[in-house]
Amino acid sequence: MSQDAKKRAVAEAALEFVVPGELVGVGTGSTANAFIDALATARGRIDGAVASSKATAARLAEHGIRVVELNSAGNLPVYVDGADEATRHRHLVKGGGGALTREKIVAAAAGTFVCVVDDSKIVDRLGRFPLPVEVIPMARSLVARALVRLGGRPERREGFVTDNGNEILDVHGLDILDPPTLESELNQIAGIVANGLFARRGADMVLIGTAKGVERI
């Protein structure tokens, strides 16, 4: 079974969590795109969607799904998004697509965060995938030095500007033994807007696409 087929399978399985007549939060990336495609078949059943990026908002609109700003959204029962890495404790690394800040905001606003991944994303310990960190441009060097002191090797994502007008540092070599503690530590560094650890508010449910079907954690 191909990776794309696994992504499609988890995306379709996530439809089960969408609450009829309510809004749904939608993440960013290829798995989230597969979810948008699945959601289009059920668009009459939902009130609309809150997007975690400009790209997702555009794709939702192309599919005829009403896009609602988070500030105007009332109840947001569910958020569906992919991840770059996920553990069986439902801690995640996200931000490969650079949308981590808005993803964290929409996840924080949602009642339930359903993470959809194929089985290549499941790891015992986070950190093999370089940790994305969104930084205010003027603080890039200051933040990079702080990340080096924490044992990381930050690399600027060349030519990339986030939806918020900021830059991304991809941090290699971090040994992430305690994801919630590192997430909090990174949040204290002046100039960091958000980091790609989703551990303090991890996923409530991880759906994993495997050759044998969709597994749930």
Active-site residue list: 103
Give the integer Cα–Cα distance in Å for 70 and 40: 20
The neighbouring-strand residues paired with 192 are 135
Secondary structure string (H, E, C) spanning 50-110 = EECCHHHHHHHHHCCCCECCHHHCCCCCEEEECCCEECCCCCEECCCCCCHHHHHHHHHHC
Give the residue with the Cβ less far from ligand 5RP, 5 or 148: 5
> Residue 83 CB, nearest distance to ligand 5RP (Å)?
5
Give the residue with the Cβ less far from ligand 5RP, 29 or 191: 29
> Residue 192 CB, nearest distance to ligand 5RP (Å)?
16
Give the residue with the Cβ less far from ligand 5RP, 122 or 142: 122
> Residue 149 CB, nearest distance to ligand 5RP (Å)?
26
**Which spans of this chain sit near ligand 5RP (rule: CB under 6 A)?**
27-31, 81-84, 94-100, 103
Give the residue with the Cβ less far from ligand 5RP, 75 or 187: 187
Give the integer Cα–Cα distance in Å for 75 and 54: 21
Tell me the one-letter amino acid at 17. Answer: F
Q: Is the dihedral of CA 45, 50, 52, 55 positive or negative?
A: positive
> Residue 206 CB, nearest distance to ligand 5RP (Å)?
12
> Residue 141 CB, nearest distance to ligand 5RP (Å)?
24
Give the residue with the Cβ less far from ligand 5RP, 81 or 170: 81
DSSP letter for 130, please: P
Q: What is the chain's alpha carbon radius of gyration, rounded to the nearest angstrom?
A: 17
Per DSSP, the three-state class of 210 is: strand
Burial of 205 (0-12, 13-18, 19+ CB in 10 A): middle
